A and B are shown apart, each in its own frame.
Chain A
Amino acid sequence: MEERELVARAKAGDREAMGELYEAHARRVYTVVRRLVGDEHLAEDLSHEAWVRAFEKLHLFRGDSAFGTWIYRLATNVALNRLRRSSKRDTVESSANLPRIVKAPDDAVVNQRVLSLALDQLPPGYRRVLVLHDVEGWTHEEIAQQLNCSAGTSKSQLHKARARMRKLISPPTSEEGGARGEARL
């Protein structure tokens, strides 16, 4: 059955069609939410919230885009709104307070698990831009529109986030806090 038909059936209240739509897009939705919020339990809540809201508001889906795009955007909004609310309470940690994910100096491969753990440790403001740009492939213009900031701010946040990630996943060196980032061009 075509996805359009599934959507039509789901709009009419057909739970089986909803289940099929869920099955087709659940991983994508959970993944983006999980990476954006950096917390497994919160991601479970928000993914659930996104899906319930999607089926509740499905009559508003006009089919201008694919259903997958729509639910992806909806889930992203749910996650970013939560981050926005919680960022008012959070204080940005200094790099000195961040736990370092220790890697052996001869570890040549960027381990995906280590990368995911480090992502979770980024301050939310950095993480959301890094995830949207480097992981999800959004442009700075799209991010700026979504976050209501300028593309320049998005770029700046991205570069800071990458620098923070490097600190988190790099092996300790004798230059810790030394040359790089201080004697600059």
Chain B
Amino acid sequence: MTDHLHIERISALLDEPWSDLAAEQHLEACEECRTEFERLSRMRMAFSGLGELEPPRGEWERIQASLEEILGPDDSIVPITASPSWRRRLISSGPVQAAAALALFAGGIFAGLQFTGAGSSSPANVLAGGVIPAVIPATGADRELYDALNEFESMGTPLRQVGFDQPDGGTLDFDAFEAARYAATLEGIIQVLRERLQEAPGDPFASGYLPYALDQRQRLAELLEANGPGSSVVEW
């Protein structure tokens, strides 16, 4: 094969894997482009796994000094390392909210969608915790999400092979291309959920599902990163 996909077109496939059938077909047949897709996908996954950075040392003291100039002196200044209990409360509030949302999701309140059990081995099932829509939504965001979940259903099972459900973390001899496709589809689902939450911030399905999907993405990123030189994954 002499003609290859432009890298920007391959990049677009990462975000909208269903938008360019011709490009997808080309990927199936062209190893070089497939490798490029996998590389971009790994880079994308690595971005989402970038951790937070430590603020510069002494930043708070400098801020305090500036505040003193602007707001005047304050007698109650204390080191911010005091009182760890408030920190625990702040830190714990995020996961508690996410868990509550997930519980709501698991409880079956789905903003107009009806769900039923799916095959126990499919990636969609792994991701959705055992439920996919049973009634096909006609249009709009619900339909988009339904299509995304079904896209998962039609894919292979790279994550099972990676070993999300294995106590030891699973094996590394997964199909890198399928894993990359999986990652791309997961990105699509995350995108759809975010847009849905933008439109309806209280949507219980999206708010329950999104943290789980993000967690899966993080785990996949960690697994891909842990899959070092000498493995079957295409190298950078």
Contacts and interface: CB of A to CB of B under 8 A. Distances in A.
A107 B235 contact: yes
B43 A20 contact: no
Main secondary structure, interface of A, reads: helix
Nearest to B46: A110
Contact of A23 (B22, B36, B40, B80): B80
Contacts of B26: 185
A60 interface: no
A159 B53 contact: no
Contacts of B67: 15, 18, 52, 55-56
Interface in B35-88: 36, 39-40, 42-56, 59-60, 62-64, 66-67, 70-71, 74, 76-78, 80, 82-83, 86-87
Contacts of A35: 50, 53
A139 B191 contact: yes
Which 4 pairs from chain A and chain B are nearest by CB?
Answer: A19-B80, A110-B46, A159-B8, A30-B55
Given A135-B50, A180-B4, 5 more contacts: A20-B86, A30-B56, A52-B66, A103-B236, A162-B44
Interface of B: 2-9, 11-12, 14-15, 22-23, 26, 32, 36, 39-40, 42-56, 59-60, 62-64, 66-67, 70-71, 74, 76-78, 80, 82-83, 86-87, 89-91, 93, 190-191, 194-195, 198, 225, 227-231, 233-236
Interface of A: 1-3, 6, 13-16, 18-20, 22-24, 26-31, 34-35, 44, 47-48, 51-52, 55-56, 103, 105-110, 112, 115-116, 130, 134-135, 137, 139, 141-142, 155-156, 158-160, 162-163, 165-166, 169-171, 179-181, 183-185
